[in-house]
Structure 1
């Protein structure tokens, strides 16, 4: 069975302690895991149901706190823990292709005039600058709190990737602006 990133995140959380799905959702948002995994309440509940169907998590029972809806608490099974570890080993072992939108937009940018591309890349660069500043602040905060780096290493990685992306985009804008990167619209529409 192929696990989705959301299912793997659920297994990881349930490996720490039993939880109900709403608690999982809250913890993921608190830890900013939504920057790594697309987290929506509906998809989270669906992922938990699939994991239970596949025997990777099991229900420990249902409770109903006063004034609250009924909540089912889950824990990871031994099979679930092994599936999580297998997924992590595979992810760390070799590069896996991903299909983000930005590289495709770059591949198709030759359909636009160079000055339009420069303007759009400048907007992208601005939004990237805001994200980098936010990530730098988050890394500084965990360092101040002296949290072990093993628990936030992905933030350091993502920051390095965004900084490299920022440098590349700034250089590309410069190359387009100076004409070092010749630009020809591919199509006339």
Structure 2
């Protein structure tokens, strides 16, 4: 028997337990609901990974099989329900994630931190292209929000869309402003030989205080948690 807790509380496991907190259902029904509710925008949802997640939760006694049923000529399907320990673990994990920021590692941040390895004009063009993608994403979220409001879906069920829309808008605005600064020449940038593409900037690459023993920048308190 496993030990219920954070070791199995993946994003998909949280989504599964939250569905079963509504009512018992079988994994394929969970999959259909997650897709219909567009929760695939929040977690990676594939039938195989969902069935695996349910099996792990069952091993840890967070969910339990309630019965096997068949509809017409369809295969038999096992219905699961959440256990008391599963419900407690779900609520504790959600409370923890709401309360405490954790250090995540979005790949765009890595690209942005190393963008100086590309010529200024190329970075501006790439960021302008990203702005176009983000603008379309924001429009899609607006359409989703209109759809939910038009069907009187309670706001508590789609507040995450409002958050996603707000963060997308904030990223888009920052990138637009930075790309404009970079394009105007206001931001000092690396220089490259147009023939070879080699860096020809005078200062030392990644120049940082401290020489051979670089001074460490302050570590944010939230960065210690992951």
TM-score between the two structures when normalised by the length of structure 2: 0.79
In structure 2, the partner of 1:42 is 48
Please report how far the alpha carbon of residue 146 of structure 1 lies from its aligned counterpart in structure 2 after TM superposition.
2.4
Matched residues, number: 189
Higher-helix-fraction structure: 1
Please report how far the alpha carbon of residue 145 of structure 1 lies from its aligned counterpart in structure 2 after TM superposition.
2.2
Find the residue that maps to 1:73 and give its secondary structure: strand
Q: How does 1:1-189 map to 2 (within 5 A)?
A: 1-2=5-6, 3-184=9-190, 188=198
Question: Which runs of 5 or more residues in structure 2 are unaligned?
Answer: 200-226
Task: Give 1 or 2 for the bigger CA radius of gyration.
Answer: 2
Please report how far the alpha carbon of residue 65 of structure 1 lies from its aligned counterpart in structure 2 after TM superposition.
2.2
Please report how far the alpha carbon of residue 63 of structure 1 lies from its aligned counterpart in structure 2 after TM superposition.
1.9
Distance in structure 2 (CA, Å) of the matches to 1:139 and 1:22: 26
Distance in structure 1 (CA, Å) of the matches to 2:11 and 2:117: 34
Moved more, 179-188 or 78-87: 179-188
Question: Which runs of 5 or more residues in structure 1 are unaligned?
Answer: none
Find the residue that maps to 2:142 and give its secondary structure: helix
Distance in structure 2 (CA, Å) of the matches to 1:124 and 1:4: 29
Distance in structure 1 (CA, Å) of the matches to 2:198 and 2:33: 50
Please report how far the alpha carbon of residue 185 of structure 1 lies from its aligned counterpart in structure 2 after TM superposition.
5.9
* Segments ≥4 residues shifted beyond 6 Å: none
Distance in structure 1 (CA, Å) of the matches to 2:186 and 2:76: 63
Find the residue that maps to 1:180 and give its secondary structure: coil
Distance in structure 2 (CA, Å) of the matches to 1:123 and 1:44: 34
Change (3 A) 1:41 1:185: farther
Preserved CA contact (<8 Å) 1:112 1:185: no
- The C-alpha deviation readout for 1:31-82, integer Å capped at 9, x for no partner, is 1111111111111111101000000001112223222222111111111111
